[in-house]
């Protein structure tokens, strides 16, 4: 009995102590053998260096990790608050696969974590990997894209999207290390590094110090490709190229907002093809339009590094023919416009940037250029506006961009048909709280728009047309249209109509930094006030915690199955390219 | 295409110096104050930079008026606010100036005034200044500013 009690006491004590110390990489981390990573121990209290004991699989850590960690007597937080002692060792490499149990003790603190160091097969399964991601891609986006693009008769779709023929392969769990909820930084970082991390973090574990560049780094896919192969790398996004999703291919920062620095990290990795928005971070601060705070001219730096520059659709087509193998295409100072604005309504910022290419043209040019490398390539394609328009509840823009994303998938599949040694992955980074519940039918009687919402049998079918067969609806403001709805949002006015004058701005900020319904939509006939159900500091609909559907086709795709943590996707990608093996001689 | 920084600073400084006596002289003749609108700020929007319009260049250093919307202050104690073309909605991750639209005007008030609701159109008047400038207190980079400004709801 006494023994049992003391055992219980010991367990309780250990559990309490276990919370105190943090070891990075975290428990259950999966690490590619041979990939450099930073090791950090954060003690909750100030400890003496001579009291610190660290073993790896029972041996002194220095023997196994090959390096002595630097002891920091006192880490400081905001206002010089002492956070505790720490140990940091940068750029460790574990060349051999297996389980590594790290036991840390110092005074009353202790912590044990186990890492799974894995390796890849000796031979690559595919030469090329095309990773297509629609930011925020949820099931409602795909269903709406199919119905809007192809139509539906008697309950059967009148056609199939390209993505409808990419086999669903896995459900992906997207939660962050610090929260069940998630954002585009940590989610794409999990895909691109094999490590989960905290909301807003990219290519690092999020430590406790305020500095956003000192957090423990992990290798990302671009670095692994450069370390082990001579493959080319391509990054395409309709967002700013420094935005979380494209950034996660190359960058390391605790804070996704460090965009000027992220642009420098893009330059360090030098993806062979880099196409998207965000020129503001390429321009030196003296140039009007720049968002840098230094004099670095990245347009010139990239050009000096042999890149052909393209700033619009015409120049992109010309750059495609130059055969330099290196293309920098920047088409907007900020995020590129949506397909609906760019190709149809000419709203948003299209007047200022009238000749932006779309995702389809960018994907074609990238594949054409990257495929000239006999060693193969990794290409990341992001349809950013699916998320950027889901946040402000602008479903028509989000869905039309999903159709464009589907066309880019079509381009990738055409390429793979001719180059079967290509793995195609189609996925989202996280989901949104959106669903289709029926239609809005202007022909229904009355003036109250709410009464025109068709549910169940009264929904009927929408009447979008595609007379010119371009895959896009001829117009989104048809009389009987899909009704998409978010399960969350700020205070706003629901107008039940597409926003033809420019992207929806549901809420605006007041002097208390609270988001209030944007009165610009108050007088739209039939508009109803929808009270928000998220904190008032939130400006828009938020990401959902729901699983993402990952689809894949081609060699290596068999590695995806069942439920997978987002970080486990990386393991399949590196195994497909055999990145555990040096492929340069 | 690019403005060499020293030149812009020198020109801004010169126009500012020239503008100061003008400002005093122009005060009584408020009716004649030239106005500027958001679509007149730049003559060219390009991926490789924006170009200020001739109107902005010619009005620099002078008292002008411009209508827009007041974005909520960055900090309660900030000496300036941001005037935007449409009521401001910022992404959850915008803690810096990096995610503001290109066409904003930073308004430095001559005297403190109370905040107006974000959907209220206001007319700001002040001395126009252009060229990249970093607010020393907040690090906020602006291209167009009104100095010694005041505003009223319209």
What is the structure's pLDDT at B135? 86
Using DSSP, state whether B64 is helix, strand or coil.
Answer: strand
CA distance B65 to chain A (A): 22
Angstrom distance (rounded) from CA A509 to CA A532:
14
Partners of residue A284 in chain B, C-beta under 8 Å: 2
> Residue A108 — pLDDT band, cuts 50, 70, 90?
very high
Angstrom distance (rounded) from CA A160 to CA A142:
11
Nearest Cα to A72, choosing from A198, A200, A211, A261?
A211
Q: How many CA atoms lie within 13 A of A52 on its CB side?
A: 25
pLDDT at position B113 over 90: no
DSSP letter (8 states) at residue A195: -
CA closest to A512 among chain B residues: B72
- To probe the interface with B, which of A288, A491, A513 has the most B CB atoms within 10 Å? A288
> Residue B120 — pLDDT band, cuts 50, 70, 90?
confident
Nearest Cα to A152, choosing from A477, A465, A479?
A465
Angstrom distance (rounded) from CA A247 to CA A266:
7
CA distance B84 to chain A (A): 12
pLDDT at position A118 over 90: yes
CA closest to A281 among chain B residues: B98
CA distance A519 to chain B (A): 7
Q: What is the pLDDT of residues A422-435, one digit of tens each?
A: 999 999 999 999 99
CA closest to B115 among chain A residues: A511
B3 in contact with chain A, both atoms CB, cutoff 8 A = yes
Partners of residue A516 in chain B, C-beta under 8 Å: 118
Higher pLDDT: B96 or A196? It is A196
Angstrom distance (rounded) from CA B120 to CA B99:
22
What is the structure's pLDDT at B22? 40
Q: What is the pLDDT of residues A157-175, one digit of tens each?
A: 999 999 999 999 999 999 9
Question: Is the Cβ–Cβ distance between A169 and A550 less than 8 Å?
Answer: yes
Structure tokens at A45: 């209290």
What is the structure's pLDDT at B32? 75
For chain A, domains (ranges, CATH) are 16-118 (2.60.40.10), 128-434+555-576 (3.40.720.10), 435-530 (no CATH)
Question: Is the Cβ–Cβ distance between A496 and A437 less than 8 Å?
Answer: no
Q: What is the mean pLDDT of residues A80-103?
A: 97
Angstrom distance (rounded) from CA B63 to CA B129:
10
The partner residue sitting opposite B118, judged by closest CB among A283, A288, A508, is: A508
B154 in contact with chain A, both atoms CB, cutoff 8 A = no
Q: How confident is the prediction for chain A on average, in pLDDT?
A: 95
Q: Between chains, do B118 and A510 touch, taking CB under 8 Å as contact? A: yes
Question: Is the Cβ–Cβ distance between B11 and B131 less than 8 Å?
Answer: yes
CA distance B126 to chain A (A): 21
For chain B, domains (ranges, CATH) are 5-153 (2.40.50.140)
pLDDT at position B101 over 90: no
Angle subtended by helix axes A221-228 and A259-269, to nearest 10: 20
What is the structure's pLDDT at B45? 87
Q: How many CA atoms lie within 13 A of B20 on its CB side?
A: 5
CA distance B104 to chain A (A): 11
Structure tokens at A506: 């549901």
Question: Is the Cβ–Cβ distance between A423 and A124 less than 8 Å?
Answer: no
Angle subtended by helix axes A139-150 and A395-418, to nearest 10: 80
Angstrom distance (rounded) from CA A138 to CA A428:
7
B120 in contact with chain A, both atoms CB, cutoff 8 A = no
Angstrom distance (rounded) from CA B87 to CA B105:
13
Question: Is the Cβ–Cβ distance between A222 and A271 less than 8 Å?
Answer: yes
CA distance B27 to chain A (A): 30
Nearest Cα to A288, choosing from B41, B117, B115?
B41
What is the structure's pLDDT at B71? 83
Of A185-194, A277-286, A512-521, give the lowest mean pLDDT range.
A512-521
Cβ-Cβ contacts under 8 Å for A396 (sequence gap 6 or more): A340, A476, A498, A499
pLDDT at position B89 over 80: no
Nearest Cα to B90, choosing from B77, B73, B115?
B73
What is the structure's pLDDT at A285? 87
> Residue B75 — pLDDT band, cuts 50, 70, 90?
low
CA distance B19 to chain A (A): 22
Highest-confidence segment of A209-218, B32-41, B125-134: A209-218
> Residue B100 — pLDDT band, cuts 50, 70, 90?
confident
Q: Between chains, do B102 and A510 touch, taking CB under 8 Å as contact? A: no
**Backbone φ/ψ region at A526: left (φ over 0), alpha (ψ -120 to 50), beta:** left
Partners of residue A508 in chain B, C-beta under 8 Å: 87-89, 118-119
Share of chain A above pLDDT 70, in %: 97
CA distance A240 to chain B (A): 10
Q: Between chains, do A259 and B143 touch, taking CB under 8 Å as contact? A: no
Question: Is the Cβ–Cβ distance between A249 and A220 less than 8 Å?
Answer: yes
Question: What interface predicted TM-score (ipTM) does this complex get?
Answer: 0.84
Nearest Cα to B150, choosing from B102, B110, B94, B115?
B110
Residue B148 β-bridge partners: none
* A524 CA to centre of own chain: 35
Partners of residue A279 in chain B, C-beta under 8 Å: 47-48
pLDDT at position A242 over 70: yes
Strands annotated E in chain B: 35-36, 42-46, 49-52, 63-70, 80-84, 104-109, 121-134, 141-153
Q: How confident is the prediction for chain B on average, in pLDDT?
A: 75
- To probe the interface with B, which of A179, A287, A290 has the most B CB atoms within 10 Å? A287
Q: Between chains, do A505 and B97 touch, taking CB under 8 Å as contact? A: no
Using DSSP, state whether B122 is helix, strand or coil.
Answer: strand
pLDDT at position A182 over 70: yes
> Residue B115 — pLDDT band, cuts 50, 70, 90?
confident
Higher pLDDT: B96 or A227? It is A227
Q: Between chains, do B118 and A288 touch, taking CB under 8 Å as contact? A: no
Q: What is the pLDDT of residues A10-67, one digit of tens each?
A: 444 444 344 479 999 999 999 999 999 999 999 999 999 999 999 999 999 999 999 9
Q: What is the mean pLDDT of residues A390-407?
A: 97
CA closest to A277 among chain B residues: B47
Structure tokens at A438: 């029926």
Partners of residue B117 in chain A, C-beta under 8 Å: 510-511
Give residue for tokens 């827009």. Answer: B68
- To probe the interface with B, which of A332, A432, A508, A535 has the most B CB atoms within 10 Å? A508
B101 in contact with chain A, both atoms CB, cutoff 8 A = yes
Question: Is the Cβ–Cβ distance between A173 and A544 less than 8 Å?
Answer: no
Cα dihedral sign for A311, A334, B69, B151? negative
Q: What is the pLDDT of residues A328-377, one digit of tens each?
A: 999 999 999 999 999 999 999 999 999 999 999 999 999 999 999 999 99
What is the structure's pLDDT at A11? 42
Of A89-98, A180-189, B11-20, give the lowest mean pLDDT range.
B11-20
Share of chain B above pLDDT 90, in %: 38
pLDDT at position B3 over 60: no
Q: What is the pLDDT of residues A536-553, one digit of tens each?
A: 999 899 999 999 999 999
What is the structure's pLDDT at A28? 98
pLDDT at position A400 over 80: yes
What is the structure's pLDDT at B88? 73
> Residue A465 — pLDDT band, cuts 50, 70, 90?
very high
DSSP conformation letters of A67-104 = SPPEEEEEEE-GGG-EEEEEEEEEEE---S-EEEEEEE
């Amino acid at each position: 009995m006494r023994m049992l009690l003391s055992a219980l006491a010991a367990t309780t004590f250990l559990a309490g102590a276990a919370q105190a110390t943090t070891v990075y990489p975290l428990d259950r981390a999966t690490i590619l053998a041979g990939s450099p990573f930073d090791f950090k121990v954060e003690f909750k209290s100030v400890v003496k260096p001579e009291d610190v004991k660290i073993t790896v699989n029972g041996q002194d850590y220095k023997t196994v990790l090959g390096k002595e960690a630097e002891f920091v007597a006192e880490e400081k937080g905001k206002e010089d608050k002492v956070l505790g002692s720490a140990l940091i060792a940068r750029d460790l490499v574990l060349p051999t696969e297996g389980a590594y149990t790290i036991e840390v003790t110092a005074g009353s603190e202790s912590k044990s974590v186990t890492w799974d160091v894995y390796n890849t097969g000796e031979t690559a399964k595919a030469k090329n990997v095309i990773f297509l991601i629609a930011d925020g891609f949820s099931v409602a986006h795909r269903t709406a894209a199919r119905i809007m693009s192809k139509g539906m008769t008697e309950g059967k779709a009148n056609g199939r999207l390209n993505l409808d023929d990419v086999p669903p392969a896995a459900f992906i769990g997207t939660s962050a290390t610090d929260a069940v909820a998630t954002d585009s930084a940590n989610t794409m970082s999990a895909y691109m590094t094999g490590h989960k991390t905290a909301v807003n973090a990219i290519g690092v574990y999020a430590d406790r110090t305020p500095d956003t560049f000192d957090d423990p780094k992990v290798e990302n896919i671009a670095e692994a490709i450069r370390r082990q192969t001579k493959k080319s790398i391509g990054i395409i996004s309709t967002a700013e190229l420094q935005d979380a999703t494209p950034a996660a291919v190359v960058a390391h920062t605790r804070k996704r907002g460090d965009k000027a620095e992220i642009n420098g990290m893009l330059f360090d990795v030098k993806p062979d093809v880099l196409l998207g928005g965000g020129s503001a971070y390429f321009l030196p601060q003296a140039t009007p339009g720049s968002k840098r705070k230094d004099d670095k001219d990245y347009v010139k730096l990239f050009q000096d590094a042999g890149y052909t520059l393209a700033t619009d659709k015409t120049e992109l087509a010309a750059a495609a023919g130059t055969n330099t193998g290196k293309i920098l295409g920047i088409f907007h100072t900020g995020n590129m416009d949506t397909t609906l604005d760019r190709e149809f309504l000419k709203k948003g910022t299209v007047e200022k940037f009238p000749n932006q290419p779309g995702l389809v043209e960018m994907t074609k040019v990238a594949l054409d250029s990257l495929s000239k490398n006999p060693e193969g390539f990794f290409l990341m394609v992001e349809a950013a506006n699916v998320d950027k328009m889901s946040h402000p509840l602008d479903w028509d823009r989000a869905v039309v961009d999903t159709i464009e994303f589907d066309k880019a998938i079509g381009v990738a599949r055409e390429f793979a048909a001719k180059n079967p040694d290509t793995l195609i992955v189609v996925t989202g980074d996280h989901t949104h709280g959106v669903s289709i519940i029926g239609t809005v039918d202007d022909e229904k009687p009355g003036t109250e728009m709410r009464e025109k919402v068709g549910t169940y049998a009264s929904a009927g079918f929408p009447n979008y047309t595609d007379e010119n067969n371009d895959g896009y609806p001829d117009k989104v403001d048809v009389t009987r249209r899909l009704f998409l709805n978010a399960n969350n949002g700020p205070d706003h006015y629901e107008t039940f109509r597409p926003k033809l004058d420019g992207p929806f701005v549901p809420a605006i900020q007041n002097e208390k930094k609270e988001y209030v319904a944007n009165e610009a939509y108050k007088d739209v006939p039939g508009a109803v006030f929808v009270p928000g159900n998220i904190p008032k500091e939130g400006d828009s609909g938020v990401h959902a915690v729901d699983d993402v559907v990952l689809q894949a086709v081609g060699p290596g795709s068999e590695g995806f199955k069942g439920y997978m943590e987002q970080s486990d996707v990386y393991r399949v990608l590196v195994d497909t390219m055999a990145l555990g093996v040096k492929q340069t001689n | 295409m690019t403005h060499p920084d020293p030149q812009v600073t020198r020109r801004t400084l010169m126009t500012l110096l020239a503008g100061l006596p003008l400002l005093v002289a122009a005060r009584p003749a408020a009716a004649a104050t030239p106005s500027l609108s958001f679509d007149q700020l730049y003559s060219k929007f390009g991926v490789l930079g924006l170009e200020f319009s001739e109107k902005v260049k010619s009005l620099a250093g002078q008292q002008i008026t411009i209508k827009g919307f007041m974005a909520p202050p960055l900090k309660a104690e900030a000496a300036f606010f941001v005037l935007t073309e449409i009521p401001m909605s910022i992404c959850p991750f915008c803690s810096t100036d990096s995610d503001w639209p290109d066409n904003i005007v930073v308004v430095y008030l001559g005297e403190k005034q109370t905040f107006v609701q974000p959907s209220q159109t206001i007319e700001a008047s002040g001395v126009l200044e252009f060229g990249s400038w970093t607010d020393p207190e907040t690090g906020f980079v602006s291209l167009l500013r009104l100095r010694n400004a005041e505003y009223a709801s319209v």
